[in-house]
Structure 1
Amino acid sequence: MRTSGFANRQQNTSMPNGKYRPFLETNAVDLPDRMWPNNRITKAPRWLSTDLRDGNQALVEPMNPKQKRAMFDLLVRLGIKEIEVGFPAASAADFDFCRSLVADNAIPEDVTISVLTQARPEIIEKTVKAVDGMPRATVHLYNATAPVFRRVVFHNDKEATKQLAVAGAQEVLAGLEKRLSEATVAGFEYSPEIFVDTELDYALEVCESVMDVWQPGPDREIVINLPTTVERATPNVYADQIEYMSRNLTRREHVALSAHTHNDRGTGLASTELALLAGVDRVEGCLFGQGERTGNVDLVTLALNLFSQGIDPQLDISDIDHIVEVYEQCTSMVVPERTPYSGSLVYTAFSGSHQDAIKKGFVDRDERVAAAGGDENAVPWDVPYLPLDPKDLGRNYEAVVRVNSQS
């Protein structure tokens, strides 16, 4: 018998891989005593939905006011307590939507509205006007800090880039103190955009300078958001970066450390989960991974990953089909059939051997539940090929077994 020898073959391609550099050649992280690999996720993070900002701006046809309101109401029903609703100084539609939420008294007292702004005085003034009268509002300031943006986009050196962030923070603080009514509890968030490509010591320096302006302390939190604006490294590298920042930020007990991951390498979920191991308190993302390019992290999948491990996600996702329906109506996007947990085919088995194992799993579970006096919660879920009970998400068992030519 002859063997193919494929294992010893290497194929030469014409793809120009030489033009790309390994991420760690220019962005090495020195963290030999990293602790995150031994940590465990034991509770849900704080959730921020940016469906109405980052998600909306990435749509071919952004949502109209009716669709935005339907999406906002859905996010509130799910139990998301922080919702980024837009960039009010950049768009009349975003500004008007903010004011409509105030006029309609549509914001629950325990929900914080977040709005995005650049570090420019005229923009910050309009941003503060947009949130005036809301129960709780966070102004989210950002500026790009990575070397390629300093060199190519803004022609700024490190000091000028840092001073832009500091001046922006000063303008936000002044605007909030001068123009915001007592009816609104004000919060502040800062993002060094392109964080993953920014020198870690410099990212820390910029964040510290911004914190010096805001002066976080008891009852005066600051959100420091560290985005993978473009995902360019493996998830373990992002975890190292997060742990470095979490260890070295001063006033850490007054900082809500936040992750905002994109999915350019297809590992946005993994990056977020490792970031939680590394110290993140808060996660920004979108339903079903909507967002620029390949999207933001999928909040539904992330929450149900926690749920499948016995962790309360602090969100109500018990009617997944309704969530999909509203999402698709609002965004004109489609949730693919194989999307984890949410897709129409994810609880369906076509393979005969899979079907047989599932059937035996249900019989075994019925027997164990009966032995437990009928208490389903007393019996851990353990059915082959079904990592989650479809009934917990409002699905039934009718579609679990389907027949095709391979069955």
Structure 2
Amino acid sequence: MTEFPTLTTPSGAVADGAPGWNRQRHSAMPSYRYRDVHQRVNVPVGHRDWPNARMTAAPLWVPVDLRDGNQALAEPMDPARKRRFFELLIAMGYKEIEVGYPSASQTDFDFVRLLAATAIAPPDVTVVVFTPARRDLIERTVESVRGITNEVVIHLYTATAPVWREIVLGKDRAQLRELIVAGARDVLELAGDLPHVRFQFSPEVFNLTEPDFALEICDAVTELWQASAQRPVTLNLPATVEVATPNVYADQLEYMHRNLARRDGVILSVHPHNDRGTGIACAELAVLAGAQRVEGCVFGNGERTGNVDIATLALNLHAQGVDPMIDFSDIDEIRRTVEHCTRLPVHDRHPYVGDLVHTAFSGTHQDAIGKGMAEHHERAAAQGIAERASQWRVPYLPIDPADLGRSYDAVIRVNSQSGKGGIAYLLRTEYGLDLPRRLQIDLAKRVQQHTDDTGAEITAEELFTLFEQSYTVPDQRITLVRWQIAGGATEIVLDAHGGRRHSVHREVGPVEAVTAALAEAGQPIEILGLTQHSVDQGAGSTAVSYIEYRAAERTGWAFGRDTSVVAASLAAVMNAANAPK
């Protein structure tokens, strides 16, 4: 019978049978089969600078959707989709793009040749092509880039971690070093004299490679390629399979950053994957540790759980006041294009781009957002500046959805989890109705009953319909036929109980006159509160009124709308008089 390791508390005490938080039982999962990454990779970093560093500028973003992302698709992109994706990346402002693996497929080879034959790549964009350290594949790769007038980077890679060396390649450290140097020598021989060509090397699975061996290999390659500030070499250090907490990756990057030879001639790059769900954190900490360049996919597509997500990384910087240097101002169009090209949907809760990421259903969130939006509007008006120019300070919304080309229509949506704040926000923004707080509370109860019964979200249109059904009466038993103010008196004509009732009321306003006439007709109404406002500006604007009333020992709310404030108020009174008992 298998023995599981003993589970202990932070103090070292055995957890089984202990009181409080640490009363746990062993799971049935065989965690003992795996080794802590610290036992496999010991990073001799010593003092760390990265914890105190800050990101004050964007790194060079390099999308690999056309190569790494494409390899991860069940249906790789056809030439038309690949071109459309490339044109999207250009439009977004990327200045270095990995365009393919030309030795792996004819489609990739032909796409690289397209860049040589046409001007679809602007002159300031660097083109990256990918190749293993095998001479015949390097030859094919070099052939694909001949004639391209843009700067070209030939990206050479070989796996270097112990498991890959022993199981996949069957080589020890010395033999693998010679294989890599031979590949680098082939690249130099075949492409060293091509104009505008630079080189890149990736020790694949860098994050599981012994730090001293990774350093030895990288230094050997940069020495052979004579890395210099005039012709820099990109050293790309991938977390090919994410196996550790992000701080370990940061330590590995800082070790390389400090100890690399020819550091001034090296562009230090990272390529995190997302196996542990912390690829974003790995990339950010790696930049703090010295990385200057980040490879990833626009929305994180890639093998297994994906490559690092450039959109999230870039917009994280934007949210901290740092220019991300990539244009996401029409993020929905970007999403549509990526979904078309990859045939993969973007999740509704994907950071920044998902359909629901700027949407609040929770009542407390809605209340805070509504107040924040109102304060933002008022502050901008007081400063005499446009709202888009005013500092963004809205609870629960780290960035202004308008920065991404989105409207505020879907910021607050209502379901059974929502409260009065969200309901009031929708009616205000969609229909111009500024409900009194007590009416908000009353309506929220009705909406809650509706959404509990249906189990579904309620749209703004459905919400307005429910509001009208609750506070207006279309088929009225008592109607206001005419009202007129003349000579200090208000004349009221009601149609009540099958007959016309005429009355004149002096020294009172129209609302008081109508309530008096209703009392005379046997339908007394006590007005407890009256709120009025205009919905639109200028001539022909619509006015609305909300009244809280008491009738026959019950209280309620009624609503009226008309072209004048007085007429709207009288309509509300008549809706109250006709409300079901």
TM-score using structure 2 length = 0.68
Determine if the alignment matches structure 1 residue 110 to structure 2 residue 110: no
Given that residues 372 and 378 in structure 1 are in contact (C-alpha distance below 8 angstroms), is that contact kept between their aligned partners in structure 2? no
CA offsets 1:306-337 (integer angstroms, 9 cap, x no match)? 00000001011100000000000000001000
Q: How does 1:155-304 map to 2 (within 5 A)?
A: 155-177=170-192, 180=194, 182=195, 185-304=196-315
Give distance in 1, aligned partners of 2:378 and 2:207.
51
Q: CA deviation digits over 1:80-106, x for unaligned, max 9?
A: 111111110121111011111221221
What is the aligned partner in structure 2 of residue 39 from structure 1? 53
1:400 partner letter: V
Gaps of 5+ in 2: 1-18, 419-581
Q: 1:51 aligns with which of 46, 57, 65?
A: 65
Identity of aligned pairs, percent? 56
Counterpart among 111, 136, 149 of residue 97 in structure 1: 111
Contact 1:137–1:186 (CA<8 Å) still a contact in 2?
Answer: yes
Amino acid at match of 1:244: Y
Say whether residues 1:85 and 2:102 are aligned partners. Answer: no
1:140 aligns with 2:151: no
* Deviation sequence 1:117-165 (CA, Å, 0-9, x none): 1111111111011111221110000111111111111111111111111
Q: 3-state SS of the aligned residue for 2:192?
A: helix
> Which residue number in structure 2 is paired with residue 345 of structure 1?
356
Length-normalised TM-score, structure 1: 0.96
Q: Considering Cα pairs closer than 8 Å and 6+ residues apart, tell me whether 1 or 2 has the greater RCO.
A: 1
- Structure 1 Cα separation of the partners of residues 229 and 273 of structure 2: 32
Deviations 1:183-237 (Å, cap 9, x if unpaired)? xx10100001110010001100000000111001131100000000000000000
Matched, 1:388 2:402: no
- When residues 395 and 144 of structure 1 are mapped into structure 2, their CA distance, relative to the original with a 3 A threshold, is same
1: CA distance between counterparts of 2:372 and 2:107?
A: 52
Structure with greater strand share of residues? 2
1:113–1:136 Cα contact (<8 Å) kept = yes
**Aligned residue runs from structure 1 range 371-386, under 5 A:** 371-376=382-387, 379-386=390-397
Measure, in 2, the Cα distance between the counterparts of 1:177 and 1:251.
19
Shift of 1:112: 0.7
Q: Distance in 2 between matches of 1:261 and 1:348?
A: 29
Task: State the alpha-carbon separation in 1 of the partners of residues 64 and 356 from structure 2.
Answer: 27
CA distance in 2, matches of 1:45, 1:7: 43
Q: Report deviation, 1:378.
A: 5.5
Q: Is the 8 A contact 1:194 1:229 kept in 2?
A: yes
Moved more, 26-35 or 229-238: 26-35
Residues 35-92 of structure 1: CA distance to partner in whole angstroms, max 9, x if unpaired?
Answer: 1000000000001110000000000000000000000000000111111111101211
The one-letter code of the counterpart of 2:373 is: F
Q: Which sections of structure 1, spanning at least 5 residues, go unmatched?
A: none
Q: State the SS of the aligned residue for 1:123.
A: helix
Give the secondary structure class of the aligned counterpart of 1:60: coil
From the superposition, tell whether residues 8 and 120 of structure 1 become closer, same or farther in structure 2 (CA, over 3 Å): closer
Q: Distance in 1 between matches of 2:29 and 2:125?
A: 49
1:30 CA displacement: 2.4
- Which residue type is aligned with residue 369 of structure 1? A
In 2, are the aligned partners of 1:142 and 1:193 still within 8 Å (CA)?
A: yes
Residue 164 of structure 2: which of 145, 149, 158 is its match?
A: 149
Partner of 1:19: 33
User: CA-to-partner distance for each residue in 1:255-285, whole Å, 9 max, x for gaps?
Assistant: 1000100000000000000001000000000
Question: Does the C-alpha gap of structure 1 residues 151 and 108 become closer, same or farther in structure 2, counting only changes over 3 Å?
Answer: same
Question: Cα gap change, 1:378/1:122 in structure 2, threshold over 3 Å: closer, same or farther?
Answer: same
Matched residues in 2 for 1:8 and 1:43: separation? 44
Q: Following TM superposition, by how much is the alpha carbon of 1:246 offset from its aligned partner in structure 2, in angstroms? A: 0.2
SS in 2 for 1:288: coil
Q: After TM superposition, give the deviation of residue 359 of structure 1 in Å.
A: 0.8
Please tell me the residue identity of whatever aligns with 2:130. Answer: L
1: CA distance between counterparts of 2:307 and 2:51? 24
In the alignment, is the contact (CA less than 8 A) between 2:42 and 2:211 conserved in 1? no
Provide the rounded CA distance (Å) in 2 between the counterparts of 1:117 and 1:25.
32
**1:326, 1:379 → 2: CA distance?**
31
| Separation in 1, partners of 2:297, 2:22 | 44
